[in-house]
């Protein structure tokens, strides 16, 4: 099973994390949807994005009762010369589950590969841990959808944003 995660915030107060689980990269619909709303674990610090997102993803992972073979995140596995969110997630999981980072914007000096999808001239920026970069790029290219952003990645983003629109009493 493959899991795609995304996290969104309501200021510095709460974080909404969503995960879609699917069987094949070409799937148009998820097999399972998981969400979690929690207080934001840390404020934003440039270059330390993982401190905000990693606790949210790990907390949501605790509630998933499906075996996960690969994980996709919205962001980078590796930045310039330092680890990104995906690297910290890979290490937190004992290096047992490959991580594919799919970023929509270029991080100055980041490593990785550019993948064009659909008719877009704007690439996605792919990084990976636990599998080769060419294999990660092929998986992103194989994802369902005719546009730059694959269908399920757009959907997990929308679900996480919807949760971030919820304001607890």
Spatial separation of the C-alpha atoms in residues 56 and 105, rounded to whole Å = 22
pLDDT at 102: 97
pLDDT at 1: 97
The 3-state secondary structure of 26-70 reads CCCCCCEEEEEEEECCCCCCCCCCHHHHHHHHHHHHHCCCCCCCE
CA distances, 117 to each of 34, 111, 147, 162 (Å): 27, 19, 6, 26
- The CA-based angle 71-15-94, given to 5 degrees, is 35
**Tens digit of pLDDT at every position of the chain (169 positions):** 999 999 988 766 778 899 999 999 999 999 999 998 887 666 665 555 666 788 999 999 999 999 999 999 999 998 877 888 999 999 999 999 999 999 998 877 777 899 999 889 999 999 999 999 999 999 999 999 999 999 999 999 999 998 755 544 4
Q: How many CB atoms lie within 10 A of CB 106?
A: 12
pLDDT at 29: 97
Spatial separation of the C-alpha atoms in residues 135 and 126, rounded to whole Å = 10
Fold assignment, 2-164: archaeoglobus fulgidus dsm 4304 fold (3.30.2170)
pLDDT at 13: 74
pLDDT at 169: 43
Q: How many CB atoms lie within 10 A of CB 28?
A: 13
| DSSP code at position 107 | P
Query: Exposed/middle/buried for 13, CB within 10 Å: 0-12, 13-18, 19+?
Result: exposed
Domain definitions of the chain by residue range: 2-164
């Amino acid at each position: 099973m493959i899991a795609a995660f995304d996290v969104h915030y309501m200021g510095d107060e709460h974080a909404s994390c969503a995960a879609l689980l699917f069987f094949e990269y070409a799937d148009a619909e998820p097999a399972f949807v998981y969400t979690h709303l929690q207080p934001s674990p840390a404020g934003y610090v440039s270059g330390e994005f993982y401190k905000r997102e990693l606790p949210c993803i790990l907390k949501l992972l605790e509630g998933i009762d499906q075996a996960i073979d690969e994980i996709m995140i919205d962001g980078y596995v590796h930045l310039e010369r330092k680890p990104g969110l995906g690297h910290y997630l890979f290490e937190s999981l004992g290096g047992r589950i490959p991580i594919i980072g799919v970023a929509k914007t270029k991080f100055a000096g980041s490593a990785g590969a550019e993948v064009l999808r659909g008719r877009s001239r704007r690439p996605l920026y792919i990084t990976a841990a636990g599998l080769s970069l060419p294999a990660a790029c092929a998986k992103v290219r194989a994802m369902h959808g005719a546009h730059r952003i694959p269908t399920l990645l757009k959907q997990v983003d929308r679900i996480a944003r919807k949760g971030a629109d919820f304001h607890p009493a």
